[in-house]
Amino acid sequence: MKRILMSTILVLSLLIGAIPASAAVKENKVVWLGDYGDAAWKGVNLTTVDGKNNVTKRVYKDDAYFPTLVGDWIYFLKQETGSDVIMGQIVKVKTDGSQLSEVTKDNTYSGFSVDGNIIYFGGYDKDYNYEIGSMNLDGTGKKILLPKLSFWSYVVGKGYVFYVDTNSDQSLLYRMKFDGSGKTAISKKSVQPRDGGYSLFENTLFYAEEPGADNKQNWYLLDISGTNKKTFTSKGTISPVGYQNKHFFFEESVVNASKKTIRTLTKINRDGSQKKTITTLAEGDQFIGSLGTTFVYKTTTGKVYQIGQDGKLTKSSK
């Protein structure tokens, strides 16, 4: 019963916890999760992007989350069969779909990310208290860094945990070290714990404060040290995509005069200046990863193409 009551929290934690990722890349390969509304792509997919054929192979066909490329392996969270909550084992499979192997024996994990040779994970102890920990890539050396946490929405990076305190009335965004010290409030207003409310790109944190009484919403870029804070605005909604060459890239959705939502790939300088639309995105096109300085998208028909920082499109011949 307790697990059923926790299902809503776990679903939300999927969206942002442990550096949320629906896609990961290595060289010319992109690994991504299929749309659950499309049975042909459900599960973990690997696309080899060559600019010509852009061949996609489904390497795991069942429920999975957080696919991450590590060398010739794809790590992901394998959903526990029959469970009514998002929870499972961390497993790995070769990029050709062979050698599916367990990284963890237990299925109490709700998210993870990989930094070098370390896996940082979020999950539950035997009493269903939330905790953040680490382990080696082979599942050994497991350590609980932060036990019995009161929050579930977080990202991990560079020795810090960034999280939204959803137990408070304000739901502010905080930063603290792995040992629990150095707790610092980053935002002054509420931050959404999901749906792109905040993301970490290497040393740069993106976050959005909820509108106040003036109905004005601001977006921010901040170094993880807490310095170099810059502000920018939008007439619509923003979904972060990436950070490259001192530019922040994001999808911006704006309702035009005809009441039609227009979605664009847009960039802005790290200092908050020179906001520029790169290209207009077709309805239903899905961002699945980045390769070099390009952004990789999938159409509703399954075709994969790249968008350059100058807006140039490279489509496959198939």
pTM of the model: 0.86
Q: How crowded is residue 93: how many other Cβ atoms within 10 Å of its Cβ? A: 21
For residue 114, what is the DSSP state?
A: E
pLDDT at 18: 34
pLDDT at 14: 37
Structure tokens at 174: 């905080």
pLDDT at 42: 84
Structure tokens at 221: 């870029």
pLDDT at 95: 94
Sign of CA dihedral 181, 222, 293, 317: positive
Residues 59 and 97: beta-carbon distance below 8 Å: yes
pLDDT at 155: 92
Residues 6+ apart with CB under 8 A from 123: 87, 108, 109, 110, 111, 130, 131, 133
In total, the chain counts a number of residues equal to 318
Within the chain, which residues score under 50 in pLDDT?
1-22
CA angle centred on 270, ends 266 and 274, rounded to 5°: 55
Q: Which CATH architecture has domain 1-149?
A: 6 Propeller (2.120)
Residues 222 and 205: beta-carbon distance below 8 Å: yes
pLDDT at 19: 33
Task: For 8, list phi and psi in degrees, rounded to 5.
Answer: -60, -45
Least Cα distance to 300 among 289, 284, 287, 288 occurs for 284
Task: For 135, list phi and psi in degrees, rounded to 5.
Answer: -160, 165
pLDDT at 24: 58
pLDDT at 235: 85
